[in-house]
Amino acid sequence: MAGLLSIKEPNPQADDNFQASSNTDIGSDSTTSFFSTDSLATEIKPSPIKHSREQIAQLFDLPLMDLLLQAQTIHRQNFNANEVQISTLLSIKTGNCPEDCGYCSQSGHHRDKTKLQAEKRLEVDKVIAAAKRAKASGSSRFCMGAAWKHPSAKDMPYVVELVKEVKSLGLETCMTLGMLNLDQAAQLADAGLDYYNHNLDTSRRYYEQVVSTRSYDERLDTITNVRDSGINVCSGNIVGMGESRDDRIDWVHELLKMPKAPESIPVNLLVPIAGTPIGDKVLADGELSVLEWIRTIAVTRICCPSSYVRLSAGRESLSDAEQALAFMAGANSFFYGDKLLTTGNASQSNDNRLMRELGLTAQFAAPRAPKQLPVIDAMSGHQSQVVLAE
């Protein structure tokens, strides 16, 4: 257990980033108590610690088995140990994106090399049919992504309708549409959107190596608009783009600098796509080790204990044992389906087999109610909107 005890507990008087726990009976020797065998079964949920950058770096340096034990311990204090949240992702508008993200085949800047064929936005009935299939397969959340820099005014009625229709099926909803202003976020909140995805991708320092058409602060502004509207934030990263461990440390620290950590955090492993600048570089230089990805998942779980940590891109190349390690590291969400926007994903039949072997069960959907509900007067037939209290 020595490795687990190698990180000094933060001193609340010395470290402004530390938030003392006020609802736990962990003893004065909190490190030893926290990692005792009995803590695996406890229902106590300590207040999250805002780790400093130095403490995050120390976590990354732990022996892997010690790190996984710490991550799994914290996971069990905040979630049902063997329950996973399952999502399905659908591209509702594919290709010809004006952004120049160096990893993405959907960028219009790379289309001459990637040869990805752009598609117009999907008709509503096709999206709903896909959502019904997702629900039937066991997904609790339906995520919709559009290759836009931001939705236009004419796109908003379309995406609002999608949110309402998918929610009517009893599914949680998530969208990723690019940047949002506060009014657009409010419209999606009123429709009842549960989650909005807007990844930071990497550290502020490495970001300029990834994309130039959108600033890091613009990404943070969108996350703020989503948070202020009352929608849950989904924001993660992509590891293996040529960044250093320091960049992965900085990315975790960026999450902790937010007023509240994202409720959902996808930790993607780059799927290098030939024809994209970053994909070509990684294919030439070599890919990041899976264990470093798993290490990143574990540190994310420790630092963001109450967030869903999702296995996203890159999972299709993992062995059963590697996926088991990822779940041990605290991942408790993943995507169903054979495709993630434009890249491949593990097959659903294989996922079902692996869940059985690992003893994992799917979480039930818990969509939130829209802020506005239609009400029809029984006598006059007049329809109006009722705004629900928060």
For the annotated catalytic residues, the residue numbers are: 97, 101, 104, 143, 174, 234, 310
CB atoms near residue 356 (< 10 Å): 10
Extended beta strands in the chain, E state? 83-93, 141-146, 172-176, 195-197, 232-234, 237-239, 264-269, 308-311, 333-336, 339-340, 343-344, 361-362, 372-376, 383-387
Q: Report the C-alpha gap between 130 and 59 in whole angstroms.
A: 41
Q: DSSP readout, 37-83? A: GGGGT----PPPP---HHHHHHHHHS-HHHHHHHHHHHHHHHS-TTE
In 3D space, the residue among 244, 241, 225 whose CA is nearest the CA of residue 233 turns out to be 225
**Angstrom distance (rounded) from CA 147 to CA 38:** 48
Rounded-to-integer distance, Cα 368 and Cα 47, Å: 24
Length of the chain: 390
E strands within 70-214? 83-93, 141-146, 172-176, 195-197
Q: In the Cβ-directed half-sphere of 211, how many Cα atoms lie within 13 Å?
A: 24
d(Cα 79, Cα 305) in Å, to the nearest integer?
A: 9
* Nearest CA among 370, 248, 337 for reference residue 297: 248
